[in-house]
Amino acid sequence: MPLTIVEARDLSVAFDGRQVLSGVNFSIRQGDYIGLVGPNGSGKSTLIKCMLGLIRSSHGAISLFGSAPVEMKNRERIGYLPQRMDFFNPRFPTTVTEVISQGLIATRRAGKSSGREEIEKVIELLDLLGLRNRLIGELSGGQQQRVIIARALVNEPDFLILDEPTSALDPEVRESFFELLHELNEKKRATIVLVTHDIGGVGQYATKLMYLDKKVIFFGGFDEFCHSENMASFFGSASQHIICHKH
């Protein structure tokens, strides 16, 4: 049985007395590549923040790498792309290359390469060559998001959590982005959780599907999804097969 990366047991979250997640149970194993989908406001970003220890549950428990999510030793193993990037001070004079290099954790790189090669690779992949010396605050929102994706990927983390990353990517960059995720997942056994609106396309890259709507409606492989009578009655059999992409 592969290592457990995240384990949620009867997890519930409420904001101002309103239940946002309720009785959520699942285990994420090393090497899983999960497409996390669900309607707007279904709790996807909240669930991810619970995994990272950024939000506390009101009930139940969640662990990350077998310990409490907030522990610092977990941080360097994770690449996280938040849905909203409201943490950039546009007046702070940091260049694109500097922001990306913040993603390289010194301890992991000690005795290894300088990280320069990794930086070059993500700069090229995310089409940032022409922007590398620009100040981050001068860039458009979409360009900034590409920089933050690059920062999340540069450390080649064990566990990558990406909250709706593709909205800022044009089709060409999107393709190389998905190729890189595939490579990290296949060759480095990175575990990936990708929140996406693209429920029709998610079967092309993810290996598991989690459908969330305050609780886990479905979590499993696409074959299982496809053959589930439960899901057929939930989604309608036409949509079910569009999602599974195989039959």
The binding site for ligand ADP (CB under 6 A) comprises 15, 20, 38, 40-46
Interhelix angle for 116-125 vs 141-153, to 10°?
Answer: 140
Q: Which does 2 bind (CB under 5 to 8 A by kind): ligand ADP, Mg ion, none?
A: none
Give the shortest CB-176-to-ligand ADP separation in angstroms.
26
Are 61 and 98 within 8 A, CB to CB?
no
Give the shortest CB-40-to-ligand ADP separation in angstroms.
5
Tokens of 82: 């938040």
Examine residue 83 and tell whether it contacts Mg ion (CB under 5 A). yes
Q: Which does 43 bind (CB under 5 to 8 A by kind): ligand ADP, Mg ion, none?
A: ligand ADP
Give the shortest CB-208-to-Mg ion separation in angstroms.
19
Are 144 and 169 within 8 A, CB to CB?
no
Residue 151: other Cβ atoms inside 10 A: 23
Q: Of 204, 247, 205, nearest to 224 (Cα)?
A: 247
Examine residue 196 and tell whether it contacts Mg ion (CB under 5 A). no
Among all residues, whose Cβ is closest to Mg ion? 45
Give the shortest CB-5-to-Mg ion separation in angstroms.
20
CA distance 174 to 139: 19
Contact mark string toward Mg ion, 12..51, x via CB under 5 A: --------------------------------xx------
Question: DSSP letter at 2?
Answer: P
Give the shortest CB-163-to-Mg ion separation in angstroms.
6
Q: Which does 92 bind (CB under 5 to 8 A by kind): ligand ADP, Mg ion, none?
A: none
Output phi, psi for 67, to 5 deg: -135, -175
Strands 215-221 and 208-213: antiparallel
Q: Which residues bind Mg ion (CB under 5 A)?
A: 44-45, 83
